[in-house]
Structure 1
Amino acid sequence: MAEAETVAVTPDVEVVLEECASAGGVLRDVLAAVDDEFVNAPSALPGWSRGHVLAHIANVGDAAARQVEYAARAELVEFYDGGREGRNAAIEAGAVLPASEHQERLARVFDRLEQTWPPPGSALWDQRVSYREGTVFGVALAWWRETRIHLVDLDAGIGADTWSETFCRHLFEFLAPRLPSGTTVELRPNGHEPWRAPDAPSTPPYVSVHGDIHDIAMWLAGRVPACMPVAFVDGQRRVLPALDPWPSAR
């Protein structure tokens, strides 16, 4: 088995802020042309309309901003009001809003976040938050994931091919807990350096997953890629390993 890249792939603050701004700009462009028919139509997520996806993005954005605002006062607050039940209720309530209200709400969310993120180099990036028992920087990474992944879920002509290599490799790292324990899974995206989790077992069996980098990232994220990756063990094709649940936010 070839030696795979095992070093951390988390980008720096400047890159994440640029990527978040880029994703926000794409979403603003999508929203500029939506109407109620678009909002009420099904998304790529089973059981969710596009309105559900838009409501969820807005809720995550407000929750992210709140984490940072409380962190600036050295205070902790839960990510969603009411926890998981509150999250679900807010999505259902927001899903039925007309297109104009989704546009207005998301515009407010983008503006709020732009004003809330600390500047690069600020000590606030390392301030503790309740989200995943992490830091403000972890909140920015979450917003980056949510916007990029759910832009694809909207099924509005924005595909995973818009994801940068940096983002795909960040997903590899973040979603590594989904890979089966006790088995070393090496991700081998075409034309890119292979990757496996730093704590992956060093003993057989080895499973290598081959495919386009965007397709591998989509598969790890639980979405349907344009072309399903393929798995091999000792050069023999095998069924893709079953994935564990999305990493819990604790």
Structure 2
Amino acid sequence: MADHVRDLASLREATERLLTAVAKLNNDSVAEPSRLPGWTRGHVLAHLSRNADALVNVMEGRPMYASAEARDADIDRDAPRPLDIQLSDVRDSAARLQELWAASTDWSRTVELRNGVTDAASEVPFRRWAEVELHHVDLGIGYELEDLPAEFTEREIAFLANRFTGHPEVPPTVITDSTRAWSTGREAAEPEVTVTGPAPELLGWLCGRRDGAGLDVSGGALPALPPL
């Protein structure tokens, strides 16, 4: 079982880091495009707030979102809000989630996330940590993949490599930063492709934030990864 206590502490630090950075923006910059296609920075912040509320639903046994359409509509509704309201919403929604987790007792139970995905309750704080860290990068305000905590980067690489393991469209692949190695893709006796590079570049490719230009590939072309 994951160390949810440690992950909750890391999540609090990441959330404060994001709030401190966002507080330096203004209303105009919040309305500017983020690094995510079609989303302003306001969309990213609104998503983080509504994701926290959605995880409260998960932990209390309700559907994460009423529907995909409702999720998207809520983000579009909240995206144009001014900076002070965005900040308050991110802070307050994160606090509601942390308070619920502080009262939780059965961390071994299975919970249902979006699209029928299930996981142990103890793994959910790490999933939220990933939301906060990666979307901080998506804001495009000076926080880059290279700035992510090393522990987070290693664990997220492992998480994403596992997510693509067995996927029929991804060739058998070894991913390595020359110190650690992860396997992914469909099963085979020997890997077809080896992808090597710094951990931030590997993570950027796996999570769709970078195109893999900073990676070395042997045994074939850089695999095209399915959308997350």
The answer for unaligned runs of 5 or more in structure 2 is none
Matched, 1:170 2:161: no
What SS does the corresponding residue of 1:34 show, helix, strand or coil? coil
Greater relative CO (CA pairs within 8 A, separation 6+): 1
Q: Secondary structure at the match of 1:187?
A: strand
TM-score, normalised by the number of residues in structure 1 = 0.80
Question: What are structure 1's unaligned runs of at least 5 residues?
Answer: 1-9, 71-75
Moved more, 156-165 or 125-134: 125-134
Identity of aligned residues (%): 27
Return the TM-score normalized by structure 2.
Answer: 0.88
- 1:201 correspondence with 2:187: yes
The answer to whether the 8 Å contact 1:151/1:158 transfers is yes
Q: Deviations over 1:108-137 (max 9, x none)?
A: 112212212137xx6421223221222322
Q: Alpha-carbon deviation of 1:27?
A: 1.0
Alignment of 1:122-137 (within 5 A): 123-131=105-113, 132-137=117-122
Distance in 2 separating the partners of 1:129 and 1:202: 32
Instruction: Select 2:53's aligned residue among 56, 59, 62.
Output: 62
Does structure 2 retain, via aligned residues, the 8 Å contact 1:178–1:220? no
1:103 counterpart letter in structure 2: L
Larger mean CA deviation between 163-172 and 35-44 belongs to 163-172
Residue 221 (structure 1) aligns with: 207
> What's the CA shift for 1:227?
5.5
**1:174-196 deviation line (CA, Å, top 9, x unaligned):** 22333653732111114x31122
Partners of 1:79 and 1:213 in 2: CA distance: 31
CA RMSD, Structure 1 to Structure 2 (Å): 2.3
Instruction: Say if 2:99 is the partner of 1:115.
Output: yes
Partner of 2:196 in structure 1?
A: 210
The yes-or-no answer on 1:242 pairing with 2:228 is no
Query: Structure 2 counterpart of 1:19, which letter?
Result: S
Aligned length: 222
How many Å separate the matches in 2 of 1:14 and 1:100?
30
Deviation at 1:36, TM superposition (A): 0.7
Taking a change above 3 Å as real, the CA distance of residues 225 and 29 of structure 1, as seen in their structure-2 partners, is farther
Matches within 5 A, 1:73-92: 76-80=61-65, 82-92=66-76
Structure 1: how far apart are the matches of 2:2 and 2:200?
A: 18
Q: For the structure 1 residues 209 and 11, does the alpha-carbon distance in structure 2 shift closer, same or farther, using more than 3 Å as the test?
A: farther
Correspondence for 1:161 among 122, 146, 149: 146
Task: Note the alpha carbon deviations across 1:158-217, whole angstroms, 9 max, x for none.
Answer: 111122333223222322333653732111114x311224x8634134211011101101
Q: Which amino acid aligns with 1:159?
A: E
SS for the counterpart of 2:173 is strand
Tell whether 2:34 aligns with 1:43: yes
SS in 2 for 1:33: coil
Q: Which runs of 4+ in 1 moved over 4 A?
A: none
User: Which residue pairs with 1:25 in the alignment?
Assistant: 16
